[in-house]
Amino acid sequence: MTINAQNNPKYKSLTTEEEQVIVYKGTERPFSGQYNEHSEDGNYNCKRCGEALYNSEDKFDGHCGWPSFDDEIPGAIERKIDADGRRTEILCSNCGAHLGHIFEGEQFTDKNIRHCVNSISLTFEAIKMPKNNIDTAYFASGCFWGTQYHFQKQEGVISTEVGFMGGHRDKPSYQQVSSGQTGHAETTKVIFDSEKISYEKLAKLFFETHDQGQLNRQGPDIGTQYRSVIFYASDDERNIAVILIDELRKNGFTVVTELTPASTFWIAEDYHQNYYQNKGGTPYCHIYQKKF
């Protein structure tokens, strides 16, 4: 027997067992779900509406009997305090399907958060990518809205996220970083296919879309959180940055860009992700200027 959830034709028809969890907020038995020990590459989607919720890169073994994730796809998850005021429920932000609960402070991963999700609330979509060609870069060039805007438009860039790097506080909020007291810089994480776009080209774009000669500011945004930084993940990345900086200086440009080893990337709040894509408009202090 199947039941059409809430009689909405856009939703997938659910079995009685699925509806018990997804609609009536039940819990499947631990270690019984098909995704508890699942390790394929891809996205975990909402069983009811099909919306992408979690990426396999953020899945880990929580030793609890249910799939565990330490991050979500930006904007995909809604949080709601349970009626008893003790636990935080997680739901699909698109259709409100019950997924499970969220827990903090367990120290399973660096992000120190666990989305405990019922397998029955999920479907899985495999993503086959040439792993050897996929790489990640981190750039800070003032307000991360503008930095992300330019990188996400490049062919060969697979995805981008904005967040914070280079500070001394774990899981900082935007408000904390904006105080200038955490040491973080507003940073854009760029995942790219190195067969389609090189790190050198990304680094050139970084320099050509902000003023690398401004110290601890970018346009009207002032503070160390707006400093110019390349967070390098390898000696090759650092060497490329050194060569480009030397070329800029030979061409008469001032460069105060820091070269710093990459550290933990803390993702920013959902409303900062894809800001210009969602709100419209263009960056006010990230204007492209050819420099190479």
Computed on alpha carbons and rounded to an integer, the radius of gyration of the chain in Å comes to 21
Lowest mean pLDDT across 27-36, 228-237, 277-286: 277-286
Instruction: Cite the residue boundaries of each domain of the chain with CATH code 3.30.1060.10.
Output: 131-279
What is the band of 247 on the pLDDT scale with cuts at 50, 70, 90? very high
> Which tokens is 224 given?
């160390």
User: Which is catalytic among the residues 46, 92, 143, 285?
Assistant: 143
CB neighbours of 227 closer than 8 A, spacing ≥ 6? Answer: 140, 185, 215, 216, 217, 258
Q: What number is the average pLDDT over the span 271-287? A: 90
Q: What integer pLDDT is reported at residue 11 of this predicted model?
A: 85
Q: What angle do CA 49, 57, 145 make, to 5 degrees?
A: 80
Does pLDDT of 281 surpass 90?
Answer: no
Mean pLDDT of 141-161: 96
* pLDDT of 130: 56
| Residues carrying CATH 2.170.150.20, the chain | 2-126
- Model pLDDT for residues 43-67, shown as the tens digit of each residue: 999 999 999 999 999 999 999 999 9
Q: One-letter amino acid identity for 255?
A: V
Question: Which of 99-103, 256-260, 278-282 is predicted with the least confidence, judged by mean pLDDT?
Answer: 278-282
Q: For 124-146, give one letter per residue: b (16+ CB within 10 A) or e.
A: beeeeeeeeeebebbbbbbbbbb
Catalytic residue among 46, 95, 116, 285: 116
Q: Is 46 a catalytic residue?
A: no
What's the mean pLDDT in 159-184? 96
Please report which residue ranges of the chain form alpha helices under DSSP H: 16-22, 144-151, 174-178, 199-208, 235-250, 275-279
| 206 pLDDT more than 90 | yes
Burial of 280 (0-12, 13-18, 19+ CB in 10 A): exposed
116 catalytic? Reply is yes
Q: Percent of the chain at pLDDT above 70? A: 96
Q: What is the arithmetic mean of pLDDT over 133-152?
A: 96
Residue, of 279 and 98, whose pLDDT is higher:
98
Q: Write the class of the CATH domain 131-279.
A: alpha beta
Given a contact cutoff of 8 angstroms between Cβ atoms, the answer to whether 186 and 135 are in contact is: no
Task: Please say if the pLDDT value at position 4 is more than 50.
Answer: no
Q: What is the mean pLDDT of residues 177-190?
A: 97
Closest to 18 in 3D by CA, of 76, 90, 99: 99
| Domain spanning 2-126, CATH architecture | Beta Complex (2.170)
